[in-house]
Amino acid sequence: MSVEIVARKSKKSLPIHLVRPGGVEDAGLPPAALAWAKAAGFAGEAGRTLLLPDGNGALAGALFGQGEGALSLGALARGLPEGDWHFAARPAEPELAALALVLGGYVFTRYGKKPGRALRLALPEGADAARVERLAAGTVLARDLVNTPTSDMGPEALEKAVRGLARAHKATVSVVKGDDLLKKNFPMIHAVGRASAEAPRLIDLTWGPKGAPKVTLVGKGVCFDTGGLDIKPASGMLLMKKDMGGAANVLGLASTIMAAGLKVRLRVLVPAVENSISANAFRPGDVLTSRKGVTVEIGNTDAEGRLVLGDALALADEESPELLVDMATLTGAARVALGPDLVPFYTDDDGLAGDLATASLAVEDPLWRMPLWKPYEAKLASKVADMNNVTSDAFAGSVTAALFLKRFVGKAKSWAHFDIFAWNPADRPHGLAGGEAQAIRALERVISSRFG
């Protein structure tokens, strides 16, 4: 089900007529198409595709019941036969419509799954082909990384993926690995990852001129999370290959930024670890001294993502970037609050929050601002250290995780934290069940408008 966007429709291209639910009579269909729709009982049901015959037993086009939003058109990628297609009339959101079909045709094929049909869609009038290509490539990168199991996507493989991205865009990569993390003062990254057979590491990608505005992205790269000594139940580990979804998403976002040639000095930091169990695993009750100097008591080894992010954020913050963004599959509490599709984000920059909210609606990338509620900082108190990595109750887990991270940011002019899921639990029009890119379209729009 691969979808290729082509510059113009060919002579053999067939039309796609978009129909709103109950709006067959008002869709401006040719008489023969309207008659066929009525005969087939097609009423524009959202997501339904009806193929149109010509008088000789061949295809003449297709009708599609459009649901809410342009991304609902992604279902077309799985409903159309192979061949050349174009929209009979310009979609309301031509760029998103084209992107929806490309994303809807995505299939993860690394382990033998066949891509299926090949569709070619003529670029709708008003759509920017290069932008569609950038956004699609960034999303596919994020999805592929998340979908790959840890047997093939441990810290070393994640580093190779970053190096591959860097080569494609002439960026540079440096890595601090293993015990060098202690020498270079990244003790929390080392502590979380030291029990794994693969050495923990901090991957540092840079791109763009040094004098340009600094935009830094930090992504949680926990390639698998057993929970550590506070081990998860078996059911809780089933999706833990996606615990590096934050890293996957910032790499997808970085891909779009570099492909667009934005005038920024981009930095991407990925603390890549596996939270494993061994004789040298870090323990509940341990006290870690972070890069920033803040001491952290370990209340639970399953709250490891915030620890590796803390060291990475501290490094990022040292050069006072214009914009600092971190993304992480951080808390189950975020899913309880907002579900798998709606991404909570945290920032104390009202201007940035407003821009993100506007962009979220414009590109159909669901986001919701959550509060950095200062009184909840007391829940992270420790009797032996500056703070604990967890609270003593089960309340406001996503908020307190964000407050924990905020302790490691002070110099950045603007900071935002995204507590993403990075996964579709069920098929959606623009994405099958599996790894997903979240918030990167909205962030790309904001970053492009600020630094384009």
Tracing tokens 């069920």 back to the chain, one arrives at 426
CB 75 within 8 A of CB 104: yes
- Crossing angle of helices 129-147/155-169, nearest 10°? 160
CB atoms within 10 A of CB 279: 5
Low-confidence ranges of the chain (pLDDT < 50): none
Q: Which residues are part of the catalytic machinery? A: 232, 306
CB 300 within 8 A of CB 230: yes
Q: What is the pLDDT of residue 2?
A: 87
What is the distance between the alpha carbons of residues 431 and 427, in angstroms, rounded to a whole number? 6
What is the distance between the alpha carbons of residues 51 and 59, in angstroms, rounded to a whole number? 7
N- to C-terminal Cα separation, the chain:
33
What is the distance between the alpha carbons of residues 173 and 119, in angstroms, rounded to a whole number? 37
Q: What is the pLDDT of residue 162?
A: 98
Q: What is the pLDDT of residue 1?
A: 64
Amino acid identity of residue 266, one-letter, is L
What is the distance between the alpha carbons of residues 354 and 265, in angstroms, rounded to a whole number? 24
pTM of the model: 0.97
Q: What is the pLDDT of residue 331?
A: 98
What is the distance between the alpha carbons of residues 268 and 215, in angstroms, rounded to a whole number? 9
Please name the residues in contact with 399: beta carbons below 8 A apart, sequence gap of 6 or more: 333, 346, 370, 371, 372, 373, 376
| DSSP code, position 111 | T
Tracing tokens 């870690």 back to the chain, one arrives at 288
Strand partners, 431: 428
CB 425 within 8 A of CB 360: no
Per-residue tokens: 240: 């833990």
Q: What is the pLDDT of residue 188?
A: 99
What is the distance between the alpha carbons of residues 214 and 409, in angstroms, rounded to a whole number? 15
What is the distance between the alpha carbons of residues 330 and 346, in angstroms, rounded to a whole number? 13
Per-residue tokens: 110: 């690394």
Please name the residues in contact with 49: beta carbons below 8 A apart, sequence gap of 6 or more: 62, 63, 64, 65, 75, 76, 79, 80
What is the distance between the alpha carbons of residues 159 and 108, in angstroms, rounded to a whole number? 20
Selection from 232, 235, 221 nearest residue 158 by Cα: 221
Distances (CA, A) of 130 to 137, 140, 316, 437, 449: 10, 15, 30, 19, 16
SS3 119: strand
Convert 240-280 into a string of H (helix), E (strand) and C (coil): HHHHHHHHHHHHHHHHHHHHHCCCCEEEEEEEEEEECCCCC
Strands, E, within 376-450: which ranges?
387-388, 415-419, 423-424, 434-435
